[in-house]
Amino acid sequence: TLCHPSVPPPVWVRARVRRLLSGAGQGSPHSLPAPPARLPYVPHVPPMALLGKVTATTFALERPRCVFDGHADASDSVWLAVAFANASAAFRNPCSRADVPPYKQLPTARSYMTLETAAAAYSCSAASPPVLRVGGDTACRDQGRQDPCNGPLPSPGPYRVKFLLMGCRGPKAETRWSEPILLRRAASPSTIDPAPARRGSDVVVIASILASLGAVLATTVLGALGAKAWGSLCHQDLGTDAFTRRSYRTHHIPPALPQPLPPSCGCSPPGLCRSA
Amino acid sequence: MAKSDDCVYILQGLLVFGNVVIGMCGIALTAECIYFVSNPHGLYPLLKATENNDIYAAAWIGIFVGLALFALSILGIIGVIKASRTLLLVYIILMLITFAFEMASCITAATHRDSLTPGLFLKQMLERYQKSEPANNSDNEVTMTWDELMIKNHCCGVLGPSDWQEYTSAFRLTHNDADYPWPRKCCVLDAQGLPVNLDGCKLGVPGYYNSNGCYDAISGPVNTHAWGVAWFGFAILCWTFCVLLGTMFYWSGIEY
């Protein structure tokens, strides 16, 4: 795609452009810069397991390696263009560094560019962390600087990104747009239901067994007390049980007198009986 | 008769043995409940904040029930040996009251342990951790308890650091998402208490942050506490039930 300056050129420049385009203007030193080379690389979120690769206001991208070799000079820089997914088709590459849409225009322009890095950082031989974090700089958001600001993203998106290699004369190469990246949305904690899924069986066991034991004990005590009270009220002899009771407070019982023998045989020592 | 003497001696022996066991178990119950009440794992502020500290009430009841069981077992031994109806009647009635209290304690501990779900702690943590205007002192205690818990057990959140991402929280109101996807205490800290690699921690690179949740560290001690009170108390009560039945049988056999 051709670059579009942010300030439209005056009328006479536009007329000359039309004349050049209608003619065979390729290769002429006064022609417009060539459209940027379209690289097949697609930016994507890193596949490795990183818990913070997509948060509510930031996301991470895999660093492209060896992508711009062959197109980049030493003085070129690589930018990251971020746009809302439904505004990516309307994005126009800036013609120069001054035309780069800044971070604070994101709500209105629906896109911005950030992460200006020297092209050497993306070369094959560069040793650098494998992940780029978009939205990680909270300091530049509040100061309103004009520098490229990697500020946190204001809404969950979805967003699409592409890398743009910018030279002195404008964009030289661009990658393809990424798949839409949707950021996390946080729910309110009032949606959490703290109630247990079901009552544990332990509680039922303990409660039922203990309740039955308590009921048996209470019944036994009341029954025993009631029986004693009934017995003492009615003066009944309760008789002997199968279990013979033993009392430890012995009562002093005088020994019983021997019963007199029946008068049929009047002799006291046996064997010495004489008929009267 | 000799046989009935033997039966009585056996019954007396069993009752004395039963009361000795009750006395020892009472001491053990008191010791165990004192241990739980002394808050060895520092989890009491969390439970108090959820208004779910009835297992502590159950432990307090357990302390006094244990002492009562010990005292009553001595009374019971004396009453059985002297075959005194009065002593044994007092013993039975007081034991029934203690039985009722211990029953309440067991059922309370068992019921409230069930209600300590991950959702309960998650909701409390999200609403109170690092609350900027703490309504009362318990919010500060909740924050301090969570910080100590996360540092000591190398854990983060209730189920994991993603708790802070999935839900909004009081923490999120004062700490923006880009700088603090999760609290700093979730990062692996060095000896000075600073994160070893802050960018790695923010990105979630394994090794620079604590990825497991703290729920196991909370529920382990709390479960031990609740089951210790509930099941041990239940076992004591079953034994006490048998001893009480034997004592009542013995009591009814003593003549005036």
Closest CA to B104 of B35, B58, B54: B58
**The pLDDT of residue A261:** 54
For B127, the closest chain A residue by CA position comes to: A189
Query: What DSSP assignment string belongs to B138-170?
Result: HHHHHHHHHHHHHHHHT--SSS-THHHHHB--H
B203·A53 Cβ contact <8 A: yes
**The pLDDT of residue B141:** 85
Inform me whether the C-beta atom of residue B176 falls under 8 Å from chain A C-beta atoms. Answer: yes
- Rounded to the nearest angstrom, the minimum Cα separation between B184 and chain A is 14
Q: Which residues of A touch B167 (CB under 8 A)?
A: 186-189, 192
pLDDT in single tens digits along all 256 residues of chain B = 456 788 889 999 999 999 999 999 999 999 999 998 888 788 888 888 877 778 888 889 999 999 999 999 999 999 999 988 899 999 999 999 999 999 999 988 888 888 888 888 999 899 888 887 766 777 788 888 899 999 999 999 999 999 999 999 989 998 888 889 999 999 999 888 889 989 899 988 888 999 999 999 998 988 888 888 888 999 999 999 999 999 998 988 887 6
Task: Answer with the residue of higher pLDDT: A19 or B29.
Answer: B29
A191-195 average pLDDT score: 83
| pLDDT level of residue A69 (50, 70, 90 thresholds) | confident
CB atoms within 10 A of CB B24: 13
Q: How many residues does chain B have?
A: 256
CA angle B93–B95–B96, rounded 5-degree value:
65
β-pair type (A159-167, A131-134) = unpaired
A4-8 average pLDDT score: 58
**The pLDDT of residue A68:** 83
- Rounded to the nearest angstrom, the minimum Cα separation between A8 and chain B is 37
**The pLDDT of residue A146:** 62
Interface test with B, best of A193, A198, A206 (most B CBs within 10 A): A206
**The pLDDT of residue A33:** 62
Alpha-carbon distance of A243 to A221, in angstroms, equals 20
Beta bridge partners of A84: A159
Q: Which residues of A touch B211 (CB under 8 A)?
A: 51
**The pLDDT of residue A19:** 66
CB atoms within 10 A of CB A73: 11
DSSP state of B14: H
Alpha-carbon distance of A139 to A154, in angstroms, equals 15
**The pLDDT of residue A205:** 87
Closest CA to B189 of B244, B151, B135: B151
First to last CA, chain A: 161
Query: What domains are defined for chain B?
Result: 7-116+222-253 (no CATH), 118-214 (1.10.1450)
Closest CA to A155 of A100, A79, A93, A82: A82
Q: Which residues of B touch A203 (CB under 8 A)?
A: 107, 110-111, 114
| pLDDT level of residue A100 (50, 70, 90 thresholds) | confident
**The pLDDT of residue A244:** 45
A221·B92 Cβ contact <8 A: yes
Q: What is the dihedral of CA B96, B101, B103, B107, to 10 degrees?
A: 170
**The pLDDT of residue B21:** 96
Interface test with B, best of A54, A55, A128, A251 (most B CBs within 10 A): A55
β-pair type (A111-118, A59-62) = unpaired
**The pLDDT of residue B138:** 76
Query: What DSSP assignment string belongs to A63-103?
Result: PP-SSSTTT--TT-EEEEEEEEGGGSTT----SSGGGPPPG
| Type of residue numbered A141 | R
**The pLDDT of residue A242:** 41
Q: What is the dihedral of CA A257, A260, A261, A265, to 10 degrees?
A: 140
Q: What is the dihedral of CA A69, A72, A75, A81, to 10 degrees?
A: -100
Cis amide bond preceding A158, omega within 30: yes
Alpha-carbon separation of residue A101 from A32, A84, A107, A141, B239 (angstroms): 21, 14, 11, 15, 81
Mention every residue, 6+ apart, whose C-beta is less than 8 A from residue B210. Answer: B150, B154, B155, B156, B161, B186, B187, B188
Structure tokens that stand for B221 in this block: 């001690």
Q: Which residues of A touch B169 (CB under 8 A)?
A: 189
Q: What is the mean pLDDT of chain A?
A: 77
The answer to whether A172 and A72 are in contact (CB under 8 A) is yes
Alpha-carbon distance of B181 to A251, in angstroms, equals 88
Coil, helix or strand for A181?
strand
B107·A246 Cβ contact <8 A: no
* pTM greater than 0.90: no
**The pLDDT of residue B30:** 94
**The pLDDT of residue A266:** 47
Task: Answer with the residue of higher pLDDT: B122 or A269.
Answer: B122
Residue listed under structure tokens 């309740």: A211
Q: Which residues of A touch B115 (CB under 8 A)?
A: 194-196
Topology classification of domain A37-185: Immunoglobulin-like (2.60.40)
For A60, the closest chain B residue by CA position comes to: B203
Note which residues in 144-163 of chain A have CB less than 8 A from chain B: 152
pLDDT over 90 percentage in chain A: 11
B120·A58 Cβ contact <8 A: no
A251-270 average pLDDT score: 57
Beta carbon pairs, A and B, within 8 Å: 152
A197-221 average pLDDT score: 85
